[in-house]
Structures are given as structure tokens and as C-alpha cells.
Chains A and B, each alone.
Chain A
Amino acid sequence: MIELVHVDKRFGENDVLKDLSFRVEKGEIFTLIGPSGAGKTTILRLINLLDDPTTGMILIDGKDTRVSEGERVALRRMMSFVFQKPAALRGNVFQNVSLGLKFRGIPPGEIRQRVTEALGLVGLDGYEEREATTLSGGELQRVAIARALVSRPEILLLDEPTANLDPGSIERIENLISSLNTRFRTTIILSTHDMVQGQRLATRIAVILDRKIRQVGDSRQIFYQPGSREVARMVGVENIFDGTVTANEDGLASITIGSTTIFATCHYPAGTAVTAFIRPEELLLLGGDGMKSSARNTLRGIISRVTPVGPNIRIQVDAGISLVAIITRRSYDDLALSPGAPVHTSFKANAIHVMTRAP
């Protein structure tokens, strides 16, 4: 459906994107995640043909997009783009939402019906006569989404679509995105800095870091098998250790990290230099009395730091290696944990993602 081939984008002296290649299939929800300034917006603008790549090319439905402006308008009319900060044109909400249909020469009766329908989808029924420039950020965001949907695009580009919204609206818009995708097979490309949103919605995720695509995969691959240390950090893998495989028996490897040894399922032979990744949610805390756990790894340590994170608690444990666990507040209270307390940390051998590294 959409293919970027060795795309570079420079603005003056600044490299914004470097050698980008990826393909988005029809009917996919493809999510770009990365910190702000990583180049996500530029990618969406390039796909929407608002900017041109400095080198490389973009194919839509297999067609090169380096064509006349008239043909580019036709390609653009297959898509809609919801900007991160949508702009309101002068006039009321109806005029704003109907603009794209007017450009396409849709008859007025049908325009009215489709605008009403689109406003209903985003929960803004009856907003037609409101002045667009007086709307709140969240309302304008939803008007922009209605404005994008009203033309029934084959491709929907969303740049941080829920960044300005309250939790209720976020849920509504996420449901809308999913249902558009399932009902109409709309191909959706969405950028977000919200990992969890990426995970909730996406068929596939591309991690953009430092102007490059670092990894493309489904959410399981991205979150549990990150391809590099940078991607791992980006997706919230807080336990990253460099070590060496000292033995491997039938796929159960002993990995020595400093003076600590952990067990992990992997096929690397003894002597391999590896990096081990463990998501903080995979760590279980067992209190100081050393209850038995079925998990292969149990390390004794001292709680060095406790930080609340929303409904959860992030706990840093010094167990020879510094481990980070995220547990619920209820578990934290039940275990009567506190900084300085002794604790057992346990995790399964198959919860560890192991990668080779340069020794």
C-alpha cells in the first residue's frame, strides 16, 4: 500500500530522516513510536505528499509519487491527515468539516449528511454552527478527526491523535480508530509517544530513534524482544545487563553478569558475549523471608529506591546487579516493603530476552 524506499530528508543542513525504508500493508494499523523530535511528523508529512524526500522515493499502491501536482492531488484525496496541532479555518464547524468534500465536488445534500455522521462519530453531535476558532484544544482535535473521516479515506494518517484529549475522549478515539480499521479496512498510520497506546492499537510498530527506524515488528517483538539497547530503553525495558554465557545446557544458559549469575533460555553457546533484557513487570518481589518461587532466578537484595508510577510502584533493588521491578500498590502494601528492607527478587528464565553483543 505505502512503501518508503531509502528516504532521506534534510531541511537545510539538518538531517531529519536518514535512509528510511519500510512498507505499510493495506488494512494495517502501523504505529510510529519514538520521542518527540525523532522525525515521526516528518514521515507522516512525506506520506501525505506535503513535503518531498531529499533522496529516495515513496510509493503509494505501487505508484511512484514523484508525479505532476494534479496526480499528487488525486493521491492525497485517498488519504486524510490529522495534524498534531490541527488548524481551524475561519467559519463554523460545518464549514471546517465539509471543506474536503467541497474540494471533491460532492453535492451539498450529501455533504450535510456526511458531516452530521462524522461529527456523531467523534461525539460532537450538534456542533455544526459553533465557531471553529472558539473551540477548546480537545474539541478542535475531534473536529479535525471528523474532518479527516468525512472524506472516507483509504489511508488515515494520525499525528499524536490523542495528545490533547482527556481520558474519556482518548478511549472513544481509540475505539473509533480500531473500528474504522476493522469495518472499512482503513489503513492507519499513527504516531505516538505513548508506548501503551501503540501496543493497544497497532498491528505493527516502528520504533523511530534519532532520525532512523530502529526496529519494525508486532507489539510482542518490540516490547519483549527489542532489537537494541536503545529500543529496549525506549519501550520501557529497564533491566539491561551486559554479561557472558558461561554454560548452556539444552537451551538453558547461565549468564554471568559481574559476580551474579542468572539463568535464561537462549541458544548461545558458552563464551558468547550477550546483553540480557528483562521488563520490570516480569520481576516478582517475595519479601525478606525467602519464600520459594517457581521461577528459575531468585536474587536476594535490598530495596534501594521506591517511586510511585501512577497506580504502580517502581522499586529499585540492589542485588549485586541493580534491578528495577514494577508492582502494584496492593502488592507493595501486602508485602510491607520499604526502602532498606531485604527482599527476594525472582524472574523466569524465559522472561529474559538475550542478544549477542560485541565483547
Chain B
Amino acid sequence: MSEIIEGFIQAVELIISLNPEVLEITARSLLISLAATLCASLISIPIGGFIHFRKFGGKRGLITIIQTLYALPTVIAGLFVFLLLSRVGPFGFLGLLFTPSGMIVGQTVLIIPLMVGMTLIALSGVKQSIQDEVVSLGATTTQTVMTIIREARFAILGGVILGFGRAISEVGAAMIIGGNIRGYTRVLTTAIALETSMGNIAFSIALGIILLGIAMVVTVALFLVQER
């Protein structure tokens, strides 16, 4: 018990003293997950818009698949992207395996279904009467889509924040694709896993506190956005 308390105190010291390694890992985590969230947004919001505004066969089935993939296990996303990026895989020539860029790809793949799904929910939250109004005001198809996306912007942003939360807290894809290379691909979650197994409890707790702090900021941001 005292070891845990000891670890906790040391963890707080590590954070307050702005331990360079702690800072570096935190910064990398934020950078990779923010980049992944940005990439996923650029892909997911247009896909969500396309699915919402177009009528096509199998739409219902596609939405069900997307919803199932909300719970895509992180290690499976990791394995999938690992196979794509590995030397024998189709994108092996890019040399992205065990790089931060590769991790961004992994997290992007992981959160795309969630963000497409959230975009769909956000867009269907815009009443048909609003869409009629926009079309009636003389909007072209593109103008209609853009206006409805703008109308749903806060709900869509909520989905983006959720996506970021999932990206920064996942460990499977980061571990498999990044490889947890110290000073290069080591992020908060992979560092916690490693340091804990090595008995370096204080360091793990410090990173855990930071990760929780980020989660809290995300939750507060989500709350503020949904208040709008």
C-alpha cells in the first residue's frame, strides 16, 4: 500500500518538475492523436455527408456495419494497418511501419467509423424542414450539403471530440504499429503499459494522471459543445 502512495507522490513530483521525458511523451501523444483526428475528420465528415444525402441500395446495411465498427477493437485496427504497412503489404514501400506517421494512420482508421456514425447522427438531427427551406431558397446541391453540415456543426464537432478521446486513449494500434520506440513512437498509453510491467510505478501513475486529465478536458469540451 505504501508503495502505491509513494508512487503517487513521486508521480506528482514528476509532473510538477516538468520531467522532460514525461513532457516529451505527452506532447507526442497529443500530436499524433490530434493529427489522426484531423485526418479522420477530413475523411469522415464528407463520407457521412455523402451517405446522409444520397439514396442508394444497401444504405441501411452500410450504416449498421459502421455502427458495429464503433467498437472496433484497437488491436484489430492495429493489426489491419500493420499488415497494410508491413514490408510485404501493399503500402510497405512507404516505410511507415514503426513511425509516428504510421501511428497516425492506425488511429485514423480506428476512429473513422465512430466519426462517420456521429456525423450521420448529427446530420439526421437537422430537421427536414430546414433542408426544405435551404433548397427552396435556391441552394444548389453542394450549397445544400454545406449549409446542412454548417447547421449540424456543433453536433459534428461533438463527434470529432469523441474521436479524439478514442484515439488518445487507445493502446493496441499504437503498440502494434508504433512499436513503442523510446523517444520516437512512445506515447502515453504504450509508455504506461511498458513502465508498469517494468515496475516503474511512479512514472506510470504520472502518465496516467496526465491521460486522465486529457480525458477530462475532452469531456468538458464535449459538454460545452453540446450545450450550444
**Is B16 part of the contact surface with A, judged by Cβ < 8 Å?**
no
A100 at the interface (CB under 8 A from B): yes
Q: Are B132 and A89 in contact (CB under 8 A)?
A: no
Cα A145 to Cα B98 in complex, Å, equals: 60
Contact of A87 among B129, B140, B141 (CB under 8 A): B129
Q: Does B196 contact A (CB under 8 A)?
A: no
Closest to A86 in B: B133
Report whether A50 and B151 are in contact in the complex, using a CB–CB cutoff of 8 Å.
Answer: no
Query: Assuming the A-B contacts A83-B129, A87-B129, A89-B151, are A70 and B136 also in contact, with contact meaning beta carbons closer than 8 angstroms in the complex?
Result: no
Chain A, range 118-154, C-beta contacts under 8 Å to B:
147, 151
Contact A76 B135 (CB under 8 A): yes
Chain B residues near A87: list those with CB within 8 A: 127, 129-130, 132-133
> Does B68 make an interface contact (CB < 8 A)?
no
- Complex interface residues of chain A between 65 and 97 (CB less than 8 A to chain B): 69-70, 73, 76-77, 80-81, 83, 85-87, 89-90
CB contact under 8 A between A77 and B138, given known A89-B130, A103-B143: yes
Query: Is B134 touching A99 in the complex (CB atoms < 8 A)?
Result: yes
Closest to A73 in B: B140
Chain B residues, CB < 8 A from A69: 140-141
User: Is A104's CB within 8 Å of the partner chain B?
Assistant: yes
B127: nearest chain-A partner, CB-CB = A87
- Chain A residues whose C-beta falls within 8 Å of the C-beta of B134 in the assembled complex: 89, 99
How many Å lie between the Cα of A45 and that of B127 in the bound state?
17
Residues in A neighbouring B132, C-beta threshold 8 A: 45, 50, 83, 87
Known contacts A50-B132, A83-B132, A83-B133; is A90 also within 8 Å of B151 by CB? yes
Residues of A within 8 A of B141 (CB): 69
- Give the docked Cα–Cα distance between A85 and B150 (Å): 21
Counting contact residues on chain B (CB < 8 A from A), the size range is 10 to 19
B9 at the interface (CB under 8 A from A): no
Task: State whether the Cβ of B139 lies closer than 8 Å to any Cβ in chain A.
Answer: yes
Name the distance in Å between B124's Cβ and chain A's nearest Cβ.
Answer: 15
Chain B residues 145-161 with CB under 8 Å of chain A are: 147, 150-151, 153
- A48 vs B143: C-alpha distance in the bound complex, in angstroms? 18
Expressed in whole angstroms, the Cα–Cα distance for A48 and B132 within the complex equals 10
Interface string of B70-83 (1 = CB under 8 A from A): 00000000000000
Q: Which residue of B lies closest to A45 (CB)?
A: B132
- Are A103 and B137 closer than 8 Å at their CB atoms? yes
Give per-residue flags for A36-76: 1 if the beta carbon is below 8 A from chain B beta carbons, else 0. 00000000010010100000000000000000011001001
Q: Is the CB of B136 within 8 A of A50?
A: yes
Q: Check A73–B151 contact: CB distance below 8 A.
A: no
A85-B129 contact in complex given A99-B147, A103-B140, A103-B143, C-beta closer than 8 Å: yes
Q: How far is the CB of A93 from chain B (nearest CB, A)?
A: 14
Contact A80 B136 (CB under 8 A): yes
Flag if B129 contacts A104 (CB, 8 Å): no
Is the pair A76, B136 in contact by a Cβ cutoff of 8 Å? yes
CB distance from A335 to the nearest CB of B (A): 51
> Are A147 and B137 in contact (CB-based, < 8 A)?
yes
Q: How far is the CA of A69 from the CA of B133 in the complex (A)?
A: 16
Interface residues of B in 98-138 (CB under 8 A from A): 127, 129-130, 132-138
Give CA–CA (A247, B103) in the complex, Å: 100
B residues near A86, Cβ cutoff 8 Å: 133
Q: Indicate if the CB atoms of A76 and B133 lie closer than 8 Å.
A: no
B147 CB contacts on chain A under 8 angstroms: 89, 99
Contact, CB under 8 Å: A103 / B139: yes
Q: How far is the CB of A58 from chain B (nearest CB, A)?
A: 15
Q: Give A102 Cβ to nearest chain B Cβ, in Å.
A: 8
Q: Is the CB–CB distance between B138 and A103 below 8 Å?
A: yes
| Interfacial residues of chain A within 1-56, with CB under 8 A of chain B in the complex | 45, 48, 50
Residues of chain B within 8 A (CB-CB) of A90 are 150-151, 153
- B141 and chain A: residue at smallest CB distance: A69
Nearest CB in chain A: distance from B154 CB, A = 8
Assess whether A151 is in contact with B138, with CB atoms less than 8 Å apart: yes
CB distance from A10 to the nearest CB of B (A): 18
Complex-state Cα separation, A85 to B132, whole angstroms: 11
- Given contact pairs A89-B151, A90-B151, A100 touches B137 in the complex (Cβ within 8 A): yes
Q: Which residues of A contact B133 (CB under 8 A)?
A: 83, 86-87, 89
Tell me the minimal C-beta distance from B202 to chain A in angstroms: 48
- Cα A123 to Cα B56 in complex, Å, equals 46
- A50 in contact with B137 (CB, 8 Å): no
Distance of A50 Cα from B140 Cα, bound (Å): 13
Q: Are B138 and A100 in contact (CB under 8 A)?
A: yes
Residues of A within 8 A of B135 (CB): 50, 76
Interface centre among B127, B129, B138 (most CB of A within 10 A): B138
Q: How far is the CB of B144 from chain A (nearest CB, A)?
A: 9
Can you name 16 A-B residue pairings with CB atoms under 8 Å? A50-B132, A69-B141, A73-B139, A80-B136, A80-B137, A83-B129, A83-B132, A87-B129, A87-B130, A89-B134, A89-B151, A90-B153, A99-B134, A99-B147, A103-B139, A147-B137
Interface residues of B (CB under 8 A from A): 127, 129-130, 132-141, 143, 147, 150-151, 153
Question: Known contacts A87-B127, A87-B132, A99-B147; can you find 11 more A-B pairs with CB under 8 A?
Answer: A48-B136, A70-B140, A77-B138, A81-B136, A83-B129, A83-B136, A85-B129, A87-B133, A89-B151, A103-B143, A151-B138
